């Protein structure tokens, strides 16, 4: 197996190769052909092609010279006002190199920018509109301030459907000479939920062990990353044994590298399959939604998972 990460190896390089966003591609392709594109906001779930499409826009506008006219920043790492004042402004204030189209600045995960950074960004977008265009990608558009939204054409990306996921899987397995059946593809689709990045990571990890990927390989890999201990922790909590449930689930998180979001989603799946009262299921699932919101807003993973177990133990 090639050691290259598959998310890069199989990244589409043209509009025609992108799956699942036909209407968005049609509109953006028309804008690129005029070389007079607006600032754009790409909003949607992870792994749906937002970053990929921004790269294609830059490549189509600037061809072989695209790297000199493209700046990509991950706002979750560089989220403060200094990033906007320094890196972004320094790049934006000069005209594109040997091109008749504006430079492209991609701010990935722009919903992680602080409010102060977003206020500085709105002025930068106005002042340097002659030389560059901004593409902001985010998972939660409500975290982007209204003045920035009003300056952008907003494109909402949807999760990929089953037929599109199947097409991607078939393309990858054909190029990598991997055998896979329809039942396994169904399992991959159900687990990835339309997230192509996650799909590719699962396929690459399983193909390292076997070129014939079956349902058993996928199930075994998913168990290893989600941990069987989570189901046991829920049962302990339901039996009012909070301290043992807490120890087991925190050990599982540390040993398997699971995030709080991973654990909450797995708890939600496990509870649905458990033989417990329907009203108790409803209460736990409702609390899972609340805990997930807290985690997305930046709460501590371990404290929130403990709080969820405490809720289950009290019910």
CATH code: domain of residue 210: 1.10.8.60
129 and 212 both lie in a single domain: no
Instruction: Tell which residue, 159, 166, 197, 162, has the closest CA to residue 9.
Output: 197
53 and 130 both lie in a single domain: yes
Looking at residue 287, which CATH number applies to its domain? 1.20.272.10
Please give the tally of structural domains in the chain.
Answer: 3
Report yes or no on 6 lying in a domain.
no
Report yes or no on 92 lying in a domain.
yes
Looking at residue 144, which CATH number applies to its domain? 3.40.50.300
Residue 28 phi, psi dihedral angles, 5° rounding: -70, -40
pLDDT tens track of the chain, all 315 residues?
A: 444 577 777 888 888 888 888 899 999 999 999 888 999 999 988 888 899 999 999 999 988 889 889 988 886 665 556 666 777 788 888 777 767 888 999 998 888 888 888 888 888 888 888 889 999 999 888 889 999 999 999 999 988 888 888 888 898 888 888 898 888 888 888 878 778 888 888 888 888 888 888 888 787 777 655 556 788 899 999 999 999 999 988 888 887 667 788 889 888 888 888 888 888 889 999 999 999 989 888 788 899 999 999 999 986
Q: What is the pLDDT of residue 53?
A: 93
Single residue among 157, 172, 203 that ends a domain in this structure: 157
145 and 205 both lie in a single domain: no
Host domain of residue 172: 162-225
Residue 154 in contact with residue 39, Cβ under 8 Å? no
192 and 142 both lie in a single domain: no
139 and 166 both lie in a single domain: no
Q: What is the pLDDT of residue 92?
A: 81
Report yes or no on 16 lying in a domain.
no
287 and 233 both lie in a single domain: yes
Q: What is the pLDDT of residue 24?
A: 92
Instruction: Tell which residue, 241, 242, 235, has the closest CA to residue 267.
Output: 235
Compute the distance between CA of residue 57 and CA of residue 261 in angstroms, rounded to an integer: 32
Single residue among 122, 141, 157 that ends a domain in this structure: 157
Single residue among 122, 157, 192 that ends a domain in this structure: 157
193 and 246 both lie in a single domain: no
Residue 309 in contact with residue 246, Cβ under 8 Å? yes
Helical (H) or strand (E) element with 71: strand 70-74
Residue recorded with tokens 């340097």: 128
Report yes or no on 37 lying in a domain.
yes
Report yes or no on 295 lying in a domain.
yes
pLDDT in tens, 109-163: 888 888 888 888 888 888 888 889 999 999 888 889 999 999 999 999 988 888 8
Q: Is the pTM of this model over 0.95?
A: no
pLDDT in tens, 15-32: 888 888 889 999 999 999
231 and 221 both lie in a single domain: no
76 and 146 both lie in a single domain: yes
133 and 145 both lie in a single domain: yes
Report yes or no on 2 lying in a domain.
no
235 and 196 both lie in a single domain: no
Q: What is the pLDDT of residue 2?
A: 47
Report yes or no on 9 lying in a domain.
no
Report yes or no on 15 lying in a domain.
no
* Burial (0-12, 13-18, 19+ Cβ within 10 Å), 91: middle
Q: What is the 3-state secondary structure (H, E, C) of 65-82?
A: HHHHHEEEEECCCCCCHH
């Amino acid at each position: 197996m090639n050691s290259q990460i598959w998310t890069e190896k199989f990244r589409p390089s043209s509009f025609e190769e992108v799956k699942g966003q036909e209407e968005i591609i049609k509109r953006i392709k028309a804008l690129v052909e005029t070389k007079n594109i607006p600032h754009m906001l790409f909003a949607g779930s992870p792994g749906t092609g937002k970053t990929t499409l921004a790269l294609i826009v830059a490549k189509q506008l600037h061809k072989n010279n695209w790297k000199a006219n493209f700046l990509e920043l991950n706002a979750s790492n560089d989220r403060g006002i200094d990033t906007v004042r320094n890196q972004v402004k320094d790049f934006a204030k000069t005209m594109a190199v040997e091109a008749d189209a504006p430079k492209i600045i991609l701010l990935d995960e722009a919903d992680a920018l602080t409010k102060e950074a977003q206020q500085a960004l709105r002025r930068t977008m106005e002042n340097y509109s002659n030389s560059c265009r901004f593409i902001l990608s985010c998972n939660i558009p409500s975290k982007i301030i209204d003045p920035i939204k009003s300056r952008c054409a907003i494109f909402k990306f949807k999760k990929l459907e089953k037929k599109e996921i199947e097409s991607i899987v078939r393309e990858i397995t054909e190029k990598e000479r991997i055998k896979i059946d329809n039942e396994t593809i169904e399992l991959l689709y159900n687990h990835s939920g339309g997230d192509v990045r996650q799909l590719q990571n699962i396929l690459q990890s399983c193909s390292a062990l076997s070129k014939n990927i079956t349902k058993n390989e996928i199930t075994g890999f998913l168990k290893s990353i989600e941990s069987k201990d989570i189901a046991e922790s829920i049962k302990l909590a339901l039996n009012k044994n909070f301290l043992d449930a807490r120890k087991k689930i925190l050990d599982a998180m540390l040993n398997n590298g699971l995030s709080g979001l991973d654990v909450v989603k797995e708890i939600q799946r496990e509870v649905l399959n458990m033989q417990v009262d329907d009203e108790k299921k409803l209460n736990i699932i409702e609390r899972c939604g609340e805990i997930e919101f807290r985690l997305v807003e930046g709460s501590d993973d371990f404290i929130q998972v403990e709080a969820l177990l405490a809720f289950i133990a009290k019910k």
